[in-house]
Amino acid sequence: MIDQTALLESKSLRTSVATHTDVLDKVKALSLLPDGMHVTTAMVAAYFQVGINAVRSLVLDHREEIEANGYRVLSGAELSSFKELSGIQSHTPSLALFSRRAVLNVAMLLRDSEVARQVRTYLLDMEYMARTAAPVDNSVHSPADSLDDRIDRRIVDILGTAVVPLFNALIETSGEHRKELIDLRQDIQRVERRLCLHHTRLRRLEGPREDRPLAGVMAAIDAMNGYEFEEHIAALLRRDGCTDVVVRGGGGDRGVDITGRTPDGRPLVVQCKRFAPHNSVTSPDIQKFLGAAKVLHKADVALYVATCPFTREALNISAEGGITAVHRGLLEAWSAGTALNVLR
């Protein structure tokens, strides 16, 4: 099995696995810009849960390699054309874009990120399985089975029910080649055990874990309309023990989208915002909600839930005003089963 250190240090190894971009969504859903092909530096930082400067520094150190995998910086007429075609709003003179392959390249280089480490683990396991698994006939299988699962089970079944019993029979009847046959049977049994271990590890990697939100959570949320998003947040509140949860929405909501009570009976209000991942919740957004939550509704607990990050000033005002800022990363974890501390 290849160690992660080799992947971090070997450009040739990174190049050999650079096409396996599907592992990104196996670990955590990667949201794309409206063109369906690129992400910004801020979106890359949000995916790996690191600061923007960490991503910029990595690009500076490995720019040639990352550019070879689809990183580019747009400016002038090219940027204007891209904004017009993609519908994004940006007032900067230049815009750095990462392809999915470039994001995977970042994952293979970024040391101080748990998400990047999980991507590397998954990537190396898939690469190892691709090198060691033999091709077999998969013509009959369940649609829900993955290719790796079907290969594992098929090979293990053949080895356990056909090959090993055949060697047992040969060993019983052979005299001259008995030792060689016993050695071969042991080799086959070792392969069988190794495949079982590989299968178990892949299932563990693909399944939900406490330290990794479910893959596809944010992709599903991004596909919701405003009403569906509010209902989704209401369902999370009810799941975590809140009572009297009502989706207000629309006109006459007095500045909040959801009202209710926490599990211990405190008045609760929620503002839900479906913003594009590259946008941010700003301080005026929080100030407006703060007045509605604390003055109009006299809420003890106020949640501002958004599908994007918050600016630093917005976070500061939230903390000072007693607003819980549920940013994109926290929303993903909440949706995947982790209760918010303020509701406990």
Give 187: exposed, middle or buried? Use CB within 10 Å, 0-12, 13-18, 19+: exposed
For residues 133-151, average pLDDT: 44
Q: Is the pLDDT of residue 209 over 50?
A: no
Closest CA to 303 of 271, 327, 275: 271
Q: What is the pTM of this model?
A: 0.43
CATH 3.40.640.10 for domain 217-343, yes or no, is no
For residues 223-251, average pLDDT: 87
pLDDT tens digits, one per residue of 156-193:
566 556 666 676 667 667 666 777 777 777 777 777 67
114 sits in which H/E element: helix 114-132
CA 174 to chain centre: 55
217 sits in which H/E element: helix 217-222
**Structure tokens that stand for 103 in this block:** 């994001």
- Ordered by start, the domain boundaries in the chain are 4-130, 133-206, 217-343
Mean pLDDT of the chain, nearest integer: 79
The SS3 call for residue 72 is strand
Asked if 237 and 245 touch (Cβ cutoff 8 Å), the reply is yes
Q: Is the pLDDT of residue 75 over 50?
A: yes
What lies within 8 Å, CB to CB, of 219 at 6+ separation is: 25, 29, 31
**Structure tokens that stand for 64 in this block:** 């040639």
Check residue 197 and give its pLDDT: 65
Query: Which band of pLDDT confidence, cut at 50, 70 and 90, is reported for residue 18?
Result: confident
Asked if 283 and 311 touch (Cβ cutoff 8 Å), the reply is yes
d(CA 27, CA 125): 13
**Structure tokens that stand for 216 in this block:** 């596809």
**Structure tokens that stand for 60 in this block:** 């500076």
Closest CA to 239 of 335, 121, 130, 173: 335
Closest CA to 286 of 262, 305, 301: 305
d(CA 286, CA 317): 7
Q: Is the pLDDT of residue 63 over 70?
A: yes
51: left (phi over 0), alpha (psi -120 to 50) or beta: beta
Check residue 1 and give its pLDDT: 45
Share of the chain above pLDDT 90, in %: 36
Query: Which band of pLDDT confidence, cut at 50, 70 and 90, is reported for residue 28?
Result: confident
Q: Is the pLDDT of residue 280 over 80?
A: yes
46 sits in which H/E element: helix 41-48
Asked if 156 and 196 touch (Cβ cutoff 8 Å), the reply is yes
Angle of the 312-321 helix axis to the 283-291 helix axis, nearest 10 = 20
Check residue 216 and give its pLDDT: 59
pLDDT tens digits, one per residue of 30-60:
888 877 788 899 999 999 999 999 999 999 9
Q: How far is CA 134 from CA 20, 130, 137, 149, 154, in A?
A: 19, 8, 10, 13, 10
pLDDT tens digits, one per residue of 84-131:
766 677 678 888 999 999 999 999 999 888 889 888 887 777 665 555
What lies within 8 Å, CB to CB, of 33 at 6+ separation is: 39, 40, 43, 86, 88, 97, 278
Share of the chain above pLDDT 70, in %: 73
